[in-house]
Structure 1
């Protein structure tokens, strides 16, 4: 740690220079563009040199950096609480659970399992390899670019970073400026705790992100919207760079007649309105039978009153939109259908009340774009089959939710739909399980991460075969000149049977 601090004082990292200079510049685009481009090259060069040195590959180094991440979170917890309160009016309770505890758990889980993950995995042998050593070795891919999300600005930056660190990579972390106080805090604290040469930070607008993507990385990880996701994939394709994209989507929530409406409403309302609805895993719309719609709406309204009081704007437990642009985008959704309750807004406070909509058309904007705000449309369907059809005629979502006391109903939806994740009788809690992956499918993303899945995402599975010359008396059969007898013997030795394994034959 002392050596790291000495290095920082003697030669500030490019990430720190980027922060200082960017704030002091007048803002003329030609100078700024040139500076950003050259800085990206310098950061990438430093990251490549750090990786080539091999320092990130050892178990002690990885363990030390993961422990440093835990120390950072423990020591500066209240500073993150204050930063997120300024950015999003986020309650301390939500910050500690969704931003601090989840990241801390991820780091500790990686520490507890890192040695096992790094151990080469032996494979089942065949007749042709029974004297050989065959295994799969997990190796770091190199320099990883992580483009963090803004809706959960600590969690969505640091959880993928932990996976890349555990896998032995160097990391360039691109922070979003949407939550500026949190971004500033991360830019200040991460260099104080982590190795500055191996883990570097940049922060900038969308145009600067596109400029960063012009450079070649070994893996690109992105959490965000579909438009930028396509740009990330196109830029990565120029360099044949593998990508992981978590893009969100329209997460349906089917409410069956058999469910407990009071519990169902409480769990849906919590997931939809926590963090002022700014969560890609939250239910995006409800599907239910007309017979229970009004009762469900009543229960949802009771939950809002229970959670946030008569006026949620005065509640210390309710957040705000992360930016004015985000506020205006979500406010436009209130023009769709009919507001049943909620709908109050205040641009100066970036406040949008918890809102439920009915009579929404499938073609309305609120059903085309990811909401990322406290707005919940409700649709009525005649049957479970109609609900499944409604879900399947849309792009595959990041998550699907079902509330029912009937296991057959849950199985029907699970077996006849496709999504990144699935949860019955609750919402969003699947993301709390470190042993479950997070990620989308189709339009909602490419690849998965979280726990061991992050380690695998940022690792190359290297096939390794260590042979000797002791069985040349058998392997000579493969050499020319060929003969029919050789072919039959080689087929017998190498073919796979469904009934008899090679060891049974021996």
Structure 2
């Protein structure tokens, strides 16, 4: 990653997460007192925020610092012991995590491991596993696809364009030149693919559809040019997986209704981006699609706020995190009721022998009443 992107998408997000947690932890961790019915008015009823115990965090390579530290902050704040498994694909970041974190956190183990070692690691008992990535076809907390920002390293970058090509292509070509010059390979602001294996995979994906923009590659530099594919079919390989690279396939549609129909015909994505000068169009996409997140007329910015939960839905992810949502993810909400032994006589209504009078009193004091009228359409 270029330094700007690393600062913005890795370091700054981790600092924000840490400061948000330090500023609010005393409030987040307090017992949460809840509404009581008539029967329990004299009881202490609350939610206790307990740690799960021993937590395993398995991080991917696309954001090798952010996706280790952000969940780690919440897990430690919630009182857990943590084992971290960084990605073996980003060796320098893995080494940094393994060397630096144990110097500051005594209840932390970093396990540099590949697939065989991770398989053995999972034979141990963990109380909670936070996994980022795709595993045996099931995407656990998050998964995503690629674009030019953080080349090959996106959490929620644009992965597929659904638009009228004649309007979009000239704008994309102009933007690429404006960002990276006439030769993006020479630009200090354009990143590289993480390794040879991913590079060759990206190369194969370029054979989907027709390369309209870019397409140049350099295996010695792990370079894939910012590329736009047109005439892409839904059955093409690039449409079946996370891209993790600077390749944007475009599916040509006639109008917004057809675009929405296409989105809804596939698994629900991590994020939907809708661009239009007409707010009604953006809202239409928001209302008629389902995704982990949504961003109108921008990309990625929904990830930067600790006040928004980040995560997928269905195949794109289970669970959310960021800010208080990270703390909640690693917290067991223990349901607690504390009654006084001196009020045991009040419990006689619940004990046999039963009768209609007892049932009536229990119902009257325990039932949740509906407020207002209900209209059936």
Say yes or no: TM over 0.5. Answer: yes
DSSP-derived class of the 1:332 partner: helix
DSSP-derived class of the 2:232 partner: coil
Q: State the distance in 2 between where 1:476 and 1:137 align.
A: 28
Per the alignment, residue 128 of structure 2 pairs with 219
DSSP-derived class of the 1:427 partner: coil
Per the alignment, residue 181 of structure 1 pairs with 92
DSSP-derived class of the 2:136 partner: helix
Per the alignment, residue 128 of structure 1 pairs with 39
Per the alignment, residue 287 of structure 1 pairs with 162
Among candidates 361, 366, 369, match of residue 494 of structure 1: 366
Q: How far is 1:411 from its partner?
A: 2.2
Q: Which ranges of 4 or more aligned residues in structure 1 deviate by more than 6 Å? A: none
Among candidates 298, 309, 316, match of residue 444 of structure 1: 316
Per the alignment, residue 373 of structure 1 pairs with 245
Per the alignment, residue 142 of structure 2 pairs with 246
Per the alignment, residue 281 of structure 2 pairs with 409
Is 1:101 the counterpart of 2:12 in the alignment?
A: yes
Q: State the distance in 2 between where 1:98 and 1:492 align.
A: 55
Q: How far is 1:470 from its partner?
A: 4.4
Q: How far is 1:329 from its partner?
A: 0.7
Per the alignment, residue 9 of structure 1 pairs with none
Is the contact between residue 222 and residue 229 of structure 1 (CA under 8 Å) also seen in structure 2?
Answer: no
Q: How far is 1:226 from its partner?
A: 4.1
Per the alignment, residue 52 of structure 2 pairs with 141
Per the alignment, residue 203 of structure 1 pairs with 112
Question: Cα 1:226–1:284, aligned 2, differ >3 Å: closer, same or farther?
Answer: farther
Per-residue Cα deviation, 1:429-449 (whole angstroms, up to 9, x for no partner): 100011111111111111111
Is the contact between residue 106 and residue 451 of structure 1 (CA under 8 Å) also seen in structure 2?
Answer: yes
Q: State the distance in 1 between where 2:246 and 2:104 align.
A: 36
Is the contact between residue 306 and residue 322 of structure 2 (CA under 8 Å) also seen in structure 1?
Answer: yes
Q: How far is 1:406 from its partner?
A: 2.4
Per the alignment, residue 311 of structure 1 pairs with 183
Q: State the distance in 2 between where 1:105 and 1:281 align.
A: 19
Among candidates 216, 228, 233, match of residue 344 of structure 1: 216
Q: State the distance in 1 between where 2:232 and 2:135 align.
A: 23
Is 1:155 the counterpart of 2:51 in the alignment?
A: no
Q: How far is 1:412 from its partner?
A: 1.8
Q: How far is 1:92 from its partner?
A: 1.2
Q: State the distance in 2 between where 1:484 and 1:159 align.
A: 56
Q: How far is 1:472 from its partner?
A: 4.0
Question: Larger relative CO (CA 8 A, sep 6+): 1 or 2?
Answer: 2
What runs of 5+ residues in structure 2 fail to find an aligned partner? 373-377
TM-score after normalising by structure 1: 0.71
What runs of 5+ residues in structure 1 fail to find an aligned partner? 1-89, 231-243, 250-270, 501-506
Is 1:427 the counterpart of 2:338 in the alignment?
A: no
Q: How far is 1:227 from its partner?
A: 3.0
Q: State the distance in 2 between where 1:180 and 1:339 align.
A: 32
108-117 or 478-487, which deviates more: 478-487
Provide the aligned C-alpha RMSD in A: 1.6
Is the contact between residue 248 and residue 445 of structure 1 (CA under 8 Å) also seen in structure 2?
Answer: no
464-473 or 454-463, which deviates more: 464-473
Q: How far is 1:294 from its partner?
A: 2.5
